[in-house]
Amino acid sequence: MSNSLVVAGIQANLFWENPKKNIAFFEEKILALDDTVDLVVLPEMFTSGFTMNPMSVAETINGNTISWMKSIAKKKNVAITGSIVIEEENQYYNRLFFVKPNGNFFTYDKKHTFTLAGENKAYKAGEKKIIVEYKGWKICPLICYDLRFPVWARNIENYDLLIYMANWPVARIKAWDTLLKARAIENMSYTIGVNRIGLDDNNYEYSGNSLIIDYLGQVIANAKDNKEEIIVAELLKTKQEKVRKKLGFLNDKDTFTLQ
């Protein structure tokens, strides 16, 4: 168990529906990271961009990208998380993978598919939230549109870090910034949001604005608008726990049942 967790988020322009180029790009960036980094967060659909043509890039759970994630995680001794397009039993999923250095991995299927873009028609929605334990930290990884639904992210598991990976367009970037801070504050949890930049083949523009935020909503690392950049921060579990104990806000949270 570690009090310190060093997280890095890679804000990047994605090559449209080109897993080979995207993997090569991220491999170079990950291998160049300082050895103190414990966890790397990649954008949503980091091998393809936010495509509604899943058949063009879909992989199986034993595909090239997962093999690459296992290999690079072991080589760099770092955990890696990001989402890709997965085909399983004739269904497509926007599936997040959290891969540990030892090769063990965990998956989460995006719960809230983005109906405005027709994601609900191209991909099957997930049903289960996951909590990953890594180096003594409890981590809740979620995807993009999930950010708009606070009940789904509610910290009933006493997690220590909340993750959002996204393809969040510049037209609604103020909501991204505001909601990330809100999720951090209401859950009293370190929060990292990693977004892409650039223009995709559907002419949607992305400005990035990736953030690492503490348990009180204070920004501790942020990426510049529309710039390829890596944000890094050291998170300290004891500081978070001390504030949680002092303020006690999580003790007063509502109980509820999701349906």
Evaluate whether residue 122 is within a structural domain.
yes
Quote the number of domains for the chain: 1
The two counts, helices (H) then strands (E), for the chain are 6, 14
pLDDT band at 199 (very low <50, low <70, confident <90, very high): very high
Say whether pLDDT at 1 is over 80: no
Strand order across the beta sheet in which 105-109 lies: 105-109, 91-99, 79-88, 39-41, 4-11, 229-236
Phi-psi category of residue 99: left, alpha or beta, with phi > 0 → left and psi -120 to 50 → alpha: beta
Q: In this structure, which amino acid lies at residue 130? A: I
Q: If you average pLDDT over every residue of the chain, what do you get?
A: 97
Evaluate whether residue 258 is within a structural domain.
no
Which pLDDT belongs to residue 258?
Answer: 86
Which pLDDT belongs to residue 257?
Answer: 87
Which pLDDT belongs to residue 259?
Answer: 80
Within 10 angstroms of residue 124's Cβ, the number of other Cβ atoms is 17
Which pLDDT belongs to residue 240?
Answer: 98
> Which CATH number is 196's domain given?
3.60.110.10
Evaluate whether residue 257 is within a structural domain.
no
Q: What percent of the chain has pLDDT over 90?
A: 97
Evaluate whether residue 194 is within a structural domain.
yes
Q: How far is CA 177 from CA 9, 180, 211, 225, in A?
A: 15, 5, 8, 12
Evaluate whether residue 259 is within a structural domain.
no
Evaluate whether residue 120 is within a structural domain.
yes
Q: Which helix (H) or strand (E) holds 4?
A: strand 4-11
State pLDDT tens for residues 93-124: 999 999 999 999 999 999 999 999 999 999 99
Evaluate whether residue 95 is within a structural domain.
yes
Say whether pLDDT at 51 is over 90: yes
Averaged pLDDT, 9-32: 98
Q: How far is CA 50 from CA 79, 95, 142, in A?
A: 23, 12, 15
Question: In terms of residue numbers, what domain contains 189?
Answer: 4-252
So which residues are the catalytic ones?
44, 110, 144
Q: Which residues of 179-216 are buried (b: 16+ CB within 10 A; e: fewer)?
A: bbbbbbbbbbbbbbbbbbbbebeeebebbbbbbbbbbe
Within 10 angstroms of residue 1's Cβ, the number of other Cβ atoms is 7
State pLDDT tens for residues 157-192: 999 999 999 999 999 999 999 999 999 999 999 999
